[in-house]
């Protein structure tokens, strides 16, 4: 029988869609004040994988991914998702979002997104939040699943960069000496 144990720490990241740079910059400042330093930020990527958000947010959307320096416990993603929802709501104008904030995390073998939307592959973890296993990591790269979002799939290189940062952090924590009492 396996014993219950504390989970490995994971690396929180965000996938963000926006048009207004000022809204994006304000979000980054807010995230850093809440969670600490951002240690990776992608370049601006034109969002061309879908027109799903055009009616609500407008055309010419920009996608960016960034990750947090501090590793988190996987269940902390609930709080991160709830804050992301709140920040999206605070940036609404006439019922339309100015920014879309998708938090998730990277673990040793997976890329997971936190969502409020229920679908067959998503597992409810509490307080209105579901986890969506979006990609798995095996044999040195991320692999798509049938429901992997195309814009996540197209940017596996960015997630590999974030994973390298994560893995260095993860390994350094594994080799720290036990605290002296």
pLDDT (tens digit per residue) in 121-141: 999 999 999 999 999 999 999
pLDDT in tens, 8-59: 999 999 999 999 999 999 999 999 999 999 999 999 999 998 999 999 999 9
Sequence length of the chain is 181
- Taking 90 as the threshold, does the pLDDT of residue 180 lie above it? no
- What is the domain partition of the chain in residue ranges? 11-174
- Taking 70 as the threshold, does the pLDDT of residue 175 lie above it? no
Token representation of residue 119: 């679908």
Residues 6+ apart with CB under 8 A from 181: none
3-class SS at 54? Answer: helix
Angle at 46 between CA 45 and CA 51, to 5 degrees: 135
CB 110 within 8 A of CB 132: no
pTM, whole model, 2 decimals?
0.92
Q: CA 87, CA 142: separation in Å to the nearest integer?
A: 29
pLDDT in tens, 66-75: 999 999 999 9
């Amino acid at each position: 029988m396996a014993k219950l144990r504390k989970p490995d720490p994971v690396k929180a990241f965000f996938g963000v869609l926006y048009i207004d740079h000022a809204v994006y910059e304000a979000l980054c400042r807010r995230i850093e004040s809440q969670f600490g330093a951002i240690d990776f930020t992608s370049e601006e990527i034109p969002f061309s994988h879908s027109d799903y958000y055009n009616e609500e947010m407008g055309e010419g959307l920009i996608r960016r991914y960034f990750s947090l320096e501090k590793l988190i416990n996987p269940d902390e993603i609930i709080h991160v998702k709830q804050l992301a929802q709140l920040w999206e709501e605070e940036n609404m104008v006439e019922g339309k979002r100015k920014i879309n904030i998708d938090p998730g995390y990277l673990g040793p073998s997976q890329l997971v997104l936190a969502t409020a939307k229920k679908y067959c592959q998503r597992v409810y973890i509490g307080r209105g939040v579901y986890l969506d296993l979006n990609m798995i990591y095996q044999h040195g790269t991320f692999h798509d699943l049938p429901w992997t979002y195309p814009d996540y799939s197209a940017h596996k290189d960015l997630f590999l960069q974030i994973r390298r940062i994560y893995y260095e952090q993860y390994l350094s924590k594994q080799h720290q000496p036990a605290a002296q009492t």
